[in-house]
Amino acid sequence: MRRTAKLSRFLPLQFSNGHKVKQFSKPCLRCKHMLHANDMHGIARLIQDQIHLAADAECPACGLKFGVACVIDSEKRVKRVLPPPWLFLLLLRVIPGTDPGPHPLLPDTSTMPAGPIQPQNYRRATEVIGRYADREIPAYIEINGQRYDFDRIEPKGTGDVSEFLIDGCLVYRS
Ligand SMILES: [Zn+2]
C-alpha cells in the first residue's frame, strides 16, 4: 500500500462562493467514535468547484479501518460516491485538478446528510437554556472566539457539516 497524506493536510479548502471546509468528520462505522481529517489518509481536492475526497479512515478508538469516498459541493452538501473507495482513490490520483471534463463517477442521486463537526476545543456558555438527558444545554458555544448559538437537539447526533455537535446530541450553528 502506498503511503498517503493525512486529509488534514488538504484543509482548509475554499469554494469559489467563499464557503470553506475546515474539517471533515465521520463517525466510525463500528463504535461511532467521531473521526476527523487527522484520522483519514487519502486525498481531498477541488475539481470543478467540488471537493472530491477519498481516504482510508482508521478509528483511533476501536482500530476499525474503512474507506471514505464522497463529493462535497459548494453548498457543503455531501454526495456519496458509488464506486468502491479504493477505485475512487485511484481515479482521483490520475485526474488532473484542472480537468474540465465531467467526472464520470459523480452520481446525481444518492445524497446523504453530512455529519456535523464535533469540536475538540470549545468553550461552553455559562448561560443555560434548558436540560436534555439530564445534562445542561449551554445557550451557545465558542470556537476560536466565534460564537455558535444552540439550534436544536439531535438524539442521533445528525446534522450538517456546517454545524457543530457537542455531547453527542446538541447542535450549534452560526
Ligand atoms: Zn471505532
Q: How close is the Cα of 65 to the center of ligand 1, in Å?
A: 8
User: From the CA of 37, how far away is ligand 1's center (Å)?
Assistant: 15
Region 144-162 average pLDDT: 87
Q: How far, in Å, from the CA of 103 to the mean position of ligand 1?
A: 32
79 or 110: whose pLDDT is higher? 79
Please tell me the predicted confidence (pLDDT) of residue 58.
Answer: 92
Burial class (CB in 10 A: 0-12, 13-18, 19+), 152: exposed
pLDDT in tens, 120-149: 788 999 999 999 888 899 999 998 888 999
Tens-digit pLDDT profile for residues 2-11? 456 899 999 9
Which one has a higher pLDDT value, 17 or 45?
A: 17
> From ligand 1's centre to the CA of 113, what distance in Å?
20
CA trace torsion 77, 80, 86, 91 (10° rounding) = -60
pLDDT at 46: 86
How remote is the CA of residue 39 from the centroid of ligand 1, in Å? 11
pLDDT confidence tier of residue 106, bands split at 50, 70 and 90: very low
Residue 132 Rama label (left phi>0; alpha psi -120 to 50; beta): beta
Residue 140 has a pLDDT of: 96
